[in-house]
């Protein structure tokens, strides 16, 4: 298990985490990370790898990196000759054979498309 403290961190079961320090000293078993975990009243101790102090290989309190959700605005185009629909990032250069027919917002979370919202449409698609 490897933890990159420069990337977003949460617990293995998805709770928010705030790292208080990564260089704690004086712990008998070698914990170096002190963190506040959503729903837990007191700070928790972790090894540099992000492993919770239980000593088991997998625990719901383990710290893990994750990819945060992000949103993009895309333009929807229709092929002038074929009628096929394609999407490009807004303000991308596209060929003259395409006509913009709308814009939509997509949200991607953990590498999966999780929401699509039509923002505007210039014609029926």
Domain segments of the chain: what residues? 1-66, 70-121
This prediction's pTM:
0.63
Mean pLDDT of 67-84: 83
Q: What are residue 66's phi and psi, to 5 degrees?
A: -150, 165
Which positions ≥6 away from 52 have C-beta within 8 Å? Answer: 44, 46, 59, 61, 62, 63
What's 107's DSSP letter? Answer: E
**Which carries the bigger pLDDT value, residue 70 or residue 19?**
19
pLDDT in tens, 24-59: 986 777 779 999 999 999 999 999 999 998 878 899
pLDDT of amino acid 123: 67
The single residue listed with the structure tokens 């979370």 is 109
pLDDT in tens, 80-108: 777 787 788 777 766 666 777 888 888 88
């Amino acid at each position: 298990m490897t933890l990159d403290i420069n990337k977003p961190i949460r617990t293995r079961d998805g709770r928010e985490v705030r790292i208080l320090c990564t260089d704690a000293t004086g712990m008998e078993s070698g914990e170096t990370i002190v963190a506040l975990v959503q729903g837990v009243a007191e700070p928790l101790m972790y090894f540099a790898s992000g492993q919770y102090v239980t000593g088991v290989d997998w625990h719901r309190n383990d710290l893990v990196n994750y990819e945060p959700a992000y949103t993009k605005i895309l333009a929807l185009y229709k092929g002038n000759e074929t009628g096929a629909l394609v999407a490009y990032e807004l303000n991308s250069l596209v060929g003259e054979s395409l006509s913009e027919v709308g814009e939509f917002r997509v949200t991607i979370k953990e590498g999966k498309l999780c929401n699509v919202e039509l923002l505007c449409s210039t014609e029926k698609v």
